[in-house]
Structure 1
Amino acid sequence: MSQPGMSTAQVYRRTVGLLGGERWLATGLSATGVAIAIVQLAEPVLFGRMVDSLARGTGAFALIGTWAAFGLVGIFASAITAVSADRLAHRARLAALGAAFSRAITLPISYHAERGTGSVTRAILAGTDALFVLWLGILREQLTALAGILLLIPTAISIDPRMAAILALLGVVYLALNILVIRKTREGQARVESHSGRLYGRVGDVLGNVTVVQSYSRLAGEMQAMRQMTASLLAAQYPVLTWWGLLTVLTRAAATVTMVIIFAAGALLAQKGQITVGEIVSFGAFAGLMVGQLDRLSSFVGSIFRSTPTIRSYFELLDAPAEVTDTPRAVPLVQPVLGHVEYREVSYRFPGSEQGVFDLSFTALPGQTIALVGPTGSGKTTTLALLQRLRQPDQGSILVDGHDIAGLTLASLRDNIAVVFQEAGLFNRSIAENIRVGRPEATDAEVEQAARLAEAHQFILRKPGNYSFVIGERGNALSGGERQRLAIARAVLKHAPILIMDEATSALDPATEARIKRAIDKLRANRTTLIIAHRLSTVASADQILVLDAGRIVERGNFAELTRQDGLFAHLVREGEIVEPKAD
């Protein structure tokens, strides 16, 4: 698993490993890259020999033909490599994006709450972009550059070892300078990535609450905070950029000095008759080729180390532990599901906290309605999250139709539970698509019927395009009541035997709430319904009311029984925490 201290070598071994599904194509592209390097290396040799042939006045045309043949092979191989590498890198990036997205949407809510939407989005998008650049660079250019340098030195030695030594010295200088800069910038680049993650998180947080920002006149304050964060990012980034800029200057100076030395040494050796003019020309071309390849490798190495923290964040996302997963022996929930729900001494404590729910035991028979009430933070939402296996109990068990849900597949369990949240949870898609989240294969007639039952059909007809109307991010193009009615329609369409309603009518006006309640009363006749509610009309009709306080069930019974007990429930009614809706 990826850890924050994961070494650069481990990160890139894993990066290359992601191409394992197309290893044969990657291997073929690597071989083509080596062939291109051979062609590039052959050209300076042929050029030098052609100069000598022209000086002698014989054999030039044969060398020109050979040079042309090598050139055509190089062009053809380069075209194949460029197109194939592009396609492979794009496929791999989309596969990596899909894997990260799939992982992100299965991670617990606590993970997203801790890191923020912006930071998680950056880990996915910036991470896959960095992987793409790496893969494309390796397959298209860097293998060719590396092979060219490795083949160049022995080729140069075979012509003249003294001149080859000058080229080897240039390679050593490049290597030493890159190692120096990498060491100087490793920690700084990690700080840059940390600041970038916080910046993206802040952007996502603000944009997700732009209404609050505008309503509370936070525009100047948020802009000031953003300027401070960008200043911190630049303060971390400038030293890194300075070192890499310095590397460019030093390597360019080394290349220039090497070229001067090559021709100066060549001139001295030529005066002694120890080297030909053509060989001097070849070494000049070797030097130019080597400088170009070293520049490419140096630039690529720089980009690798600058993107290492970004790619590391991507792998950390992939490796983040899911709080709840299918067990190896998980089985589907047996159909038909009756909806008999039982909690047996269930406890769950939030990590690093004393809060949670403790020793919960109750039964909801098929067709019954169980209402959960209690002060804020008493554990109502956590209790129902455990039924959906959004969290895993520390102790105890929850049974559906006699089956421990810990041994059931998540998909089969959740397919049989419909949920209406306090926040509607709508997508920036059409009305029909949002309702069909409950059952994607539903017909248009079934979608409309669900909307009618949820008292949503009439307002939908008033929207441009009716059921095709796109409702905006989080349903911002709708009123609060309209959003909630779509969420209820989605639950209606699912036809699940277990219904969970978390303050499902809180955003509705009294008249609409009354209509919704009538629809819900019809639905729950054959469904087990668990409701978190503060509306007296909802609580009063429940078969059983569970009163929670500090994560424990402190009272239970029907409305009349709990009112007579004059305990916490009666206190909540008197204090107005359980309210009776007013008539229009």
Structure 2
Amino acid sequence: MGFLRTYARVLGLLAPDKWVAIGLALAALALAGLQFLEPVLFGRVVDVLSGADRQPQDIVWRQATALLVVWGAVGITGIAANVAVSLLADRMAHRNRLAVMHRYFQHVLAMPLSFHGDTASGRLMKIMLVGTDHLFAIWLSFFREHLTTFITGFVLLPLTFLMNWRLALVLLALVVVFIVVAAFVVSRTQEAQEKAEGFQSQLAGNAQDALSNVVVVQSFTRLAAEAKLFGDIMRQVLDHQFPVLNWWAVVSVLTRSASTISVITIFVLGTWLHMRGEATVGEIVSFMGFATMLIGRLEGAVGFVSRLLMQVPGLREVFGVLDTRSSVPEKLDAVDLGRTAGHVAFEHVAFGYPGGGKILNDVSFEAPPGKTVALVGQTGAGKSTAMSLLQRLWDPIEGRVTIDGHDLRDISLESLRRNVGVVFQDAMLFNRTIRENLLVGRPEATQEELEQACRMAEAHDFITRQPQGYDTPVGERGTSLSGGQKQRLSIARALLKDPPILILDEATSALDAATEARVQKALKVLMAGRTTFIIAHRLSTIRDADEILVFELGRVAERGTFEDLVAQGGRFAELVKTQLTGTDAKKPAPVPA
């Protein structure tokens, strides 16, 4: 069955702790043996006492005492073994739960933007938290209970045939009934449970989506609509979950009935065999103990199977994420460039997203070290896509992108991204302190270096006016700061990283004129001596670029300096004229200035 393969993989995750797992398995074997001995010893004591009138009292006393001592030793040993198993299993389960969570977190963070664009972050969080909780519960229950149940059923149960094969048949029939009933119900409920889990993930994704856009929800009076959508998905969860719960409730009733019938059958059959001289009273008592022990184990196993069935979809989601391969895989022999000179070249590059047409087609250009190249054009012309290829968020389908002559596919992602800095339109700040946000690209920077970068970015003064200075929390996505302040922090962050290649992605388009002037001053400091690419719609920001590339329908339609392109009277000149025309006549036009 599929869920058994998933179960095997869950246990396989314990490979780093294999010696602890082996020790726990041996302890479980010992526990199963000790639990098997208790009913046997009880039966022997009963046989000794029931035959007391046929033997001298001192012999009966010695036999009974010896059996009771052994029984007591077995009990004490079993208690000690249980304590050891519980402690070791708890520690191992906790340790490996956090290890899988850490592995999952690293894996998801390393996945390209194509992966994150297709998967809601709330869903990813739900998969990690719920999935690792399932792993913890399975590991704990396996070593505490179900390994012993397995050993009891498949190793020790056959030993009961050596004691009395007729009574042992009753126990075997009980095991078969449990297995058949559980397998039948699993086959009837597995698909419904997977659908229910899918809706659970959708519920988490929608909740995260609404919470992360709470301003839009409130501004557009979407409270009732979002609550209704949440309720609709919740009802679909229940519609698929309730039938599963009903089936397992039936299993619980059937297994309890089978257990009661088995105990009665052992008693009746044992009495009949005893009257025929084919079973002693002690054997009947022992088999009653076996039945009680086995029933408890099997009921626990059935409950575990029902929980596992409900957990399997969540576990498969965890494994599905962990098994997802990056669309920009790193070669085993990838080169670590160190600090590059910053010579960037696009050589006949073409790119299209999977399942779509080409967005870039035969794009070629060079950016020598220290030069500034601007990319302009209508929305969707391919500017941002070209810069995504430079960061290797995607790989080209034709041609290649190089840095200092090295194809990006031959460079380690770590060294590539260490050499490229980005100032986004949205500063994208963490919900941490100003200091922590600035240090993300260079954690080892000193306070002096931090302050120097902030002064160069025109940010030091406003930071020192904050309640806790550099240790002031900025709120989620920097909500406690203004747009200009966030952007200057973003520039300071890039200055501190000190990359040889810089991408300015609409870095000032969301700012007012006064704030833009301060930010532009900081950007000029940042751009000095670096190979810089500017994506801009506001053409006034690119007047001093060494070369301007005009993108149109995925190709470079024009290239040259600002003055040359205006003089050509082509597509760029039209863009300049359009912006001039759209400028308020009472205000000076921003482009020529």
Q: TM-score with structure 1 length normalisation?
A: 0.95
Is the counterpart of residue 56 in structure 1 residue 46 in structure 2?
A: no
How big is the shift at 1:80? 1.0
Map of 1:303 onto structure 2: 307
Aligned to 1:470, the other structure's residue is in SS state: coil
Residues in 2 aligned to 1:469 and 1:53: alpha-carbon distance in whole angstroms: 80
How big is the shift at 1:532? 0.8
Map of 2:439 onto structure 1: 436
Is the counterpart of residue 468 in structure 1 residue 471 in structure 2?
A: yes
Offset from partner CA, 1:236-277 (integer Å, 9 cap, x none): 111111111111111011111111222222233333443332
Maintained 8 Å contact 2:484/2:519? no
Map of 2:490 onto structure 1: 487
How big is the shift at 1:221? 0.3
Instruction: Name the aligned partner's letter for residue 192 of structure 2.
Output: G
Map of 2:209 onto structure 1: 205
How big is the shift at 1:355? 4.5
Maintained 8 Å contact 2:349/2:362? yes
Map of 2:227 onto structure 1: 223
Offset from partner CA, 1:195-215 (integer Å, 9 cap, x none): 122112111211221111111
How big is the shift at 1:321? 1.9
Offset from partner CA, 1:127-148 (integer Å, 9 cap, x none): 2222222222212211111112
Aligned to 1:440, the other structure's residue is in SS state: coil
Maintained 8 Å contact 1:355/1:550? no
Map of 1:237 onto structure 2: 241
- In the TM superposition, 1:447-526 aligns within 5 A as 447-526=450-529
Aligned to 1:437, the other structure's residue is in SS state: helix
Residues in 2 aligned to 1:160 and 1:523: alpha-carbon distance in whole angstroms: 87
Map of 2:27 onto structure 1: 32
Is the counterpart of residue 374 in structure 1 residue 377 in structure 2?
A: yes
Identify which of 253, 259, 275 aligns with 1:255: 259
Maintained 8 Å contact 2:336/2:415? yes
Offset from partner CA, 1:169-211 (integer Å, 9 cap, x none): 1111101100110110121122112212211211121122111
Maintained 8 Å contact 2:454/2:460? yes
Map of 1:350 onto structure 2: 353
Identify which of 389, 398, 421 aligns with 2:392: 389
Map of 1:142 onto structure 2: 146
Residues in 1 aligned to 2:331 and 2:163: alpha-carbon distance in whole angstroms: 66
Maintained 8 Å contact 2:551/2:558? yes
Maintained 8 Å contact 1:510/1:581? no
How big is the shift at 1:22? 1.8
Maintained 8 Å contact 2:457/2:525? no
Maintained 8 Å contact 2:487/2:519? no
Instruction: Name the aligned partner's letter for residue 295 of structure 2.
Output: V
Offset from partner CA, 1:333-356 (integer Å, 9 cap, x none): 154x22111111111111111242
Identify which of 37, 59, 69 aligns with 1:42: 37
Instruction: Name the aligned partner's letter for residue 150 of structure 2.
Output: L
Moved more, 189-198 or 432-441: 189-198
Offset from partner CA, 1:539-568 (integer Å, 9 cap, x none): 112111111122111111121222223332
Aligned to 2:13, the other structure's residue is in SS state: helix
Map of 1:292 onto structure 2: 296
Instruction: Name the aligned partner's letter for residue 550 of structure 1.
Output: L
Map of 2:17 onto structure 1: 22
Residues in 1 aligned to 2:322 and 2:482: alpha-carbon distance in whole angstroms: 37
Residues in 1 aligned to 2:256 and 2:571: alpha-carbon distance in whole angstroms: 79
Aligned to 2:375, the other structure's residue is in SS state: strand
Identify which of 72, 77, 82 aligns with 1:78: 82
Moved more, 316-325 or 218-227: 316-325
Aligned to 1:526, the other structure's residue is in SS state: coil
Instruction: Name the aligned partner's letter for residue 402 of structure 1.
Output: G
Instruction: Name the aligned partner's letter for residue 206 of structure 2.
Output: R
Identify which of 339, 344, 356 aligns with 1:341: 344
Maintained 8 Å contact 1:325/1:410? no
Moved more, 115-124 or 233-242: 115-124
Residues in 2 aligned to 1:257 and 1:334: alpha-carbon distance in whole angstroms: 75
Residues in 2 aligned to 1:166 and 1:49: alpha-carbon distance in whole angstroms: 21
How big is the shift at 1:9? 4.0
Offset from partner CA, 1:421-480 (integer Å, 9 cap, x none): 122121111110100012111011111221222222222222221111122222222222
Is the counterpart of residue 8 in structure 1 residue 3 in structure 2?
A: yes
Maintained 8 Å contact 1:455/1:512? no
Instruction: Name the aligned partner's letter for residue 569 of structure 2.
Output: D
Instruction: Name the aligned partner's letter for residue 413 of structure 1.
Output: L
Map of 1:94 onto structure 2: 98
Maintained 8 Å contact 2:185/2:248? yes
Instruction: Name the aligned partner's letter for residue 270 of structure 2.
Output: G
Map of 1:178 onto structure 2: 182
Is the counterpart of residue 329 in structure 1 residue 333 in structure 2?
A: yes
Residues in 2 aligned to 1:152 and 1:409: alpha-carbon distance in whole angstroms: 55
- In the TM superposition, 1:312-323 aligns within 5 A as 312-323=316-327
Instruction: Name the aligned partner's letter for residue 423 of structure 1.
Output: D
Aligned to 1:358, the other structure's residue is in SS state: strand
Residues in 1 aligned to 2:476 and 2:521: alpha-carbon distance in whole angstroms: 30
Residues in 2 aligned to 1:250 and 1:573: alpha-carbon distance in whole angstroms: 80
Identify which of 571, 574, 579 aligns with 2:574: 571
Residues in 2 aligned to 1:74 and 1:296: alpha-carbon distance in whole angstroms: 19
Maintained 8 Å contact 1:484/1:507? no
How big is the shift at 1:325? 2.2
Moved more, 244-253 or 394-403: 394-403
Maintained 8 Å contact 1:181/1:244? yes
Moved more, 447-456 or 28-37: 447-456
Maintained 8 Å contact 2:536/2:542? yes
Moved more, 152-161 or 200-209: 152-161
Residues in 2 aligned to 1:473 and 1:507: alpha-carbon distance in whole angstroms: 19
Instruction: Name the aligned partner's letter for residue 112 of structure 2.
Output: P
Is the counterpart of residue 558 in structure 1 residue 561 in structure 2?
A: yes
Is the counterpart of residue 544 in structure 1 residue 547 in structure 2?
A: yes
Instruction: Name the aligned partner's letter for residue 43 of structure 1.
Output: E
Maintained 8 Å contact 2:484/2:516? no
Aligned to 1:500, the other structure's residue is in SS state: strand
Residues in 2 aligned to 1:392 and 1:154: alpha-carbon distance in whole angstroms: 61
Is the counterpart of residue 106 in structure 1 residue 101 in structure 2?
A: no
Maintained 8 Å contact 1:426/1:434? yes
Residues in 2 aligned to 1:415 and 1:240: alpha-carbon distance in whole angstroms: 51
How big is the shift at 1:159? 2.2
Instruction: Name the aligned partner's letter for residue 42 of structure 2.
Output: F
Moved more, 259-268 or 235-244: 259-268
Identify which of 416, 419, 428 aligns with 1:416: 419
Aligned to 2:455, the other structure's residue is in SS state: helix
Instruction: Name the aligned partner's letter for residue 28 of structure 1.
Output: G
Identify which of 120, 125, 130 aligns with 1:126: 130
Quick one: structure 1 residues 479 and 66, their matched pair in 2 at CA, closer, same or farther if it must change by over 3 Å?
A: same
Moved more, 31-40 or 338-347: 338-347
How big is the shift at 1:572? 2.4
